[in-house]
Chain A
Amino acid sequence: MYGVCLKYLKNVQESQDATSLIFEKVMDDLLRMDVMNFKSWLYMVSKNHCLMQLRKKKPEKIENISELEYKLEDNHDSEYVFIKESQLKNLEEAIKKLKDEQQQCIDLFYLKEKTYDEIAGITGYETKKVKSYIQNGKRNLKIILTENHT
Chain B
Amino acid sequence: MNRKKKIFESNTPLTKEEIAAYLKGDMSQADKYQLEQKIAGDEFNSDAIDGFESTPEAMEGFNELEGHFHGNLPRKVASKFWRFEFSFILIITIAIGLYFIGHHFLDQINLDEIKFDESKLTTQVRNDSSSADNNIPPIEELDDKEIENAAPLEESKQLTSDRIIINAPLIMVIDSSINEIAKIDSAILLINEEKEIINATSNDKKEITKVNTTNVINSNIGTLFLSRLLVVDYTNIYTKEITIPNFELTGTTADKENKSDNGANELAVNTYTQKITYVDFLQEVQSKFRKNKFKDALKDYRTILTHYSNDVNAHFYMALCYFNINKQKKAIQHFDRVLNHDFNTFHEEAKWYKAMSLYESGKISKCITILNEIATENGFYAKKASKMLNKI
Contacts and interface: CB of A to CB of B under 8 A. Distances in A.
Interface of A: 1-12, 15-16, 19-20, 23-24, 27-28, 31-32, 39-40, 42-43, 46-48, 50-52, 54-58, 61, 64-69, 71, 73-74, 76-79, 81, 83, 88, 91-92, 106, 109-111, 113-116, 131, 134-135, 138-139, 141-143
A65 B224 contact: yes
A110 to B, nearest CB: 5
Contact of B76 (A27, A42, A43, A56): A27
A65 B94 CA distance: 30
A68 B183 CA distance: 21
B4 A111 contact: yes
**Chain A interface secondary structure, helix, strand, loop or mixed?**
helix
Contacts of B183: 9-10, 54
Interface in B166-222: 171-175, 178, 182-183, 186-187, 189-191, 194, 197-198, 200-201, 222
Interface stretch (B52-60, B255-263, B305-313): B52-60
Interface residues on B, range: 35 or more
B386 interface: no
Given A31-B80, A74-B228, A16 B47 contact: no
Given A27-B80, A78-B201, A12 B73 contact: no
Interface stretch (B64-72, B110-118, B320-328): B64-72
A61 B222 contact: yes
A78 B198 CA distance: 9
B47 A4 contact: yes
A45 B178 CA distance: 20
A61 B73 contact: no
The 7 closest A-B pairs by CB, nearest first: A3-B48, A6-B51, A7-B51, A3-B51, A43-B44, A57-B222, A69-B227
Given A51-B190, A61-B233, A69-B226, A7 B48 contact: yes
